[in-house]
Amino acid sequence: MLFTRKLLTGAGTAALCLATPGLAQTAEPAPAGQADQAVNDIVVTAQFRAQRLQDTPIAITATTGAALEARSLTSVTDLTATAPNVNLSSASGLNGSAVNAYIRGIGQNDSSFALEPGVGIYIDDVYYGTTFGAILDLNDLDRVEVLRGPQGTLAGKNSIGGSVKLFSKKPDADGGGFVEATLGRFNRVDFRGSADFTIADGLYARLSGVSKHTDGFMTLLDFGCVNPGQGIPAQRSGNCRTGSEGGIDVKGVRGALRYAPDGSRLELNLSGDFSQNDSEQVATKLLYANNPNVRSYVAGDPFAGVPLDSRFLTGARSYTSYATYDTGGNYTTPFCAPGGGCVPYQVAPGGFRSSPKSTARSWGVSGTIDYALSDTLSLKSITAYRAASGTAGIDLDGSPLAVLLQQFDYRHRQFTQELRLSGKIGAIADFTLGGFLYDARDWLGGRSQIPNVQFDFLPDDPVTNNSKSLFAHVELHPFANFNIVAGLRYTHDRKTYLFHRRNPDGTLPSGIPFTTNWLLVGLDGRIGTFEGDRVDYRIGANYRFSDTLMAYAQVSTGYKGGGVNPRPYVPDQIVAFAPETLTAYEAGFKSDLFGRRLRANGAIFYNDYKDIQINRYVCPESASRTCSEP
């Protein structure tokens, strides 16, 4: 279950950049006499129109695709190295092939479809609405924009921490391509490449692909083989290695088609991509085990089994583990502690086997239409469909004992449509008006087994998630070098979560205390629903003191959507929870010093953070004091 609280935080950030090569797009030239050895500019579209990075009055880091390649940054998780206050990492094994994305300490570490991301991730302006399947490859990119949050008006809901926007290279008339190969330790073999083609005047195509393979570095060992005579028979002879964790096996391809005739008011971009991630589970290691209440299964007596203790540790500096990904086993001999004392080791009832895999198959298609209605008014339409599915198993005890094993199956489908009308009103204002639709269908399945407490069930949970929003962004230019920025977004969200809780044989839990799944009685077929509205705003001002110094200040809001408690034990724990909200006060500067040889940008912010969605473990108001995690 969830409860809420209020938190106030404050911090500051700064970034320095020495002169480096690489342009994302053609930018305004440097002032006369300052072009040589200058820090080059990247043109970004964070505020719905093309602007120099140094003219954009928000805390944003932009990196060209060429710079990413030069630094060997190949995954979205590598972007942590490009921007301060940004932490992108692979989620724990409990969450499948998912990303933990945090900006300024705000994000989400749970991939459940009942919950929402805290950092918005975009692929060519297409919002990706879940953390599962979001460990994206950075192949063939034009640029990456990392916006620190909240970005409630520019990027919408779930960008409370900020947003990460990936922009692929578009096909053009230049032609050419590249092929790159990388070899390394652990049998690392990577290939990536792309090629541009001109089909006809104004019609271009681009193909790109990637393949990455690295063996796992965490070796799984057969405890009985490594420790003969310790009560658990060896499952292997000779080589005690049973598998590995941490390996990478990713393949992907992308195709793009662009129609942009010279002199035409119309530009059309179509793209499709497919990727298959058959990587191993994130490497996990048992580092501490000294709880006598955590034991292997013994029928009728949960306190009679083998305790999970230091016998199953492999040493803090050793990249090895005794995890089996199995709660069944075939152990018929007693387990004997060093120095004597043997206890029976019994097979867990109805045990099942998973594997150290964390897979994700994803694909998507999108179409973008840009049409210039006049010299000062343009229309943009972005239509996309994306899908992802995968499976992840996790041996949570990290030992040969049958203590806790889980496997989750994920399926995500989403359709998005965005319309933007952008224009200029003389030299007075730039504006964008728009609307956004997000419609997703998700499903979570799998199996969870804790033999000692007779907990063993199959979830089968469909989730629907719908969001609609209207937004406006205006930049006023009342006099030279001074600008006022204002934004407003209204969003309506609705989410439903249908719970199915069945025994492994497909029957319903019996409800008799201390029998299998007795706590889950009454959950099957229950529906939890969240529905709500939200208005976010942004208002700020910026002033350019010179060609090399700009300062800004703003107040902005954002939120992470509400949802439904995804892991109830009893029906009264099926409750909806409110959105997280954030109001941020920020001031910053952007400067180019010493003839544009040194770039120094900085920001200071104060966050008013309310209704934080966090885990709750004690439920005095529930029929069961045992609580679920959100």
CATH code of 416's domain = 2.40.170.20
Q: Is residue 398 part of a domain?
A: yes
pLDDT tens profile 418-458: 999 999 999 999 999 999 999 999 999 999 988 877 888 99
How far is Cα 324 from Cα 242, in angstroms, rounded to an integer?
A: 8
Written as six digits, the tokens of 203 are 């019609």
Q: Is 258 domain-assigned?
A: no
Banded model confidence at residue 236, pLDDT cuts 50, 70, 90: confident
| pLDDT value, residue 1 | 36
pLDDT at 48 > cutoff 50: yes
Provide the greatest CA pair distance for the chain: 89
Query: Residue 37: what pLDDT?
Result: 45
Pairing of strands 307-308, 320-321: unpaired
- DSSP per residue over 20-45, as a string? ----SS--PPPPTT--TTPPPP-EE-
Are 217 and 283 within 8 A, CB to CB? yes
Q: Could you tell me if residue 405 is inside a domain?
A: yes
The answer as to whether 254 is a domain residue is no
pLDDT at 630: 54
Q: Does residue 15 carry a pLDDT above 50?
A: no
Lowest-confidence segment of 263-267, 277-281, 342-346, 614-618 by average pLDDT: 342-346
pLDDT at 22 over 70: no
- Grade residue 464 by pLDDT with cuts at 50, 70 and 90: very high
Domain annotation covers residue 353: no
Residue 250 confidence (pLDDT) above 70: yes
How far is CA 150 from each of CA 76, 126, 430, 519, 560, rounded to the nearest angstrom?
20, 18, 22, 40, 10
Q: Domain count for the chain, please give it.
A: 2
Q: Among 229-233, 245-249, 469-473, 574-578, which stretch is predicted with the lowest mean pLDDT?
A: 229-233
What band does 5 get if pLDDT is binned at 50, 70 and 90? very low
CATH label of the domain that carries residue 79? 2.170.130.10
User: Is 347 a member of any domain?
Assistant: no
What is the model's pLDDT at position 19?
36
CA angle 556, 546, 606 (to 5 degrees): 25
d(CA 406, CA 246): 18
pLDDT above 50 (res 328): yes
At CA 50, angle to CA 422 and CA 88, rounded to 5?
110
Sheet holding 119-123, edge to edge: 60-64, 141-148, 162-168, 119-123, 126-128
CA 407 – CA 409 distance, rounded (Å): 7
- Any domain includes 602: yes
Q: How many helices (H) and strands (E) does the chain have?
A: 2, 38
Pick 413 or 235 by higher pLDDT.
413
- DSSP states of 583-616 as a string? EEEEEEEEEEETTTTEEEEEEEEEEEEES--EE-
User: Which pLDDT band holds residue 621 (cuts at 50, 70, 90)?
Assistant: confident
Q: Among 107, 133, 168, which residue terminates a domain?
A: 168
Which residues are within 8 A (CB) of 487 and not within 5 positions of it... i.e. 6 or more apart? Answer: 153, 154, 471, 472, 473, 474, 536, 537, 538, 539, 556
Question: By the 8 A CB rule, do 588 and 551 touch?
Answer: yes
Q: Does 231 reside within a domain? A: no
Question: For residues 429 and 386, is the Cβ–Cβ distance under 8 A?
Answer: no
Of 130, 153, 168, which residue is a domain's last? 168
Convert the pLDDT of each residue in 519-536 to its tens digit.
889 999 999 999 999 999
Domain boundaries, position 590? 358-615
Domain boundary among 137, 168, 199: 168
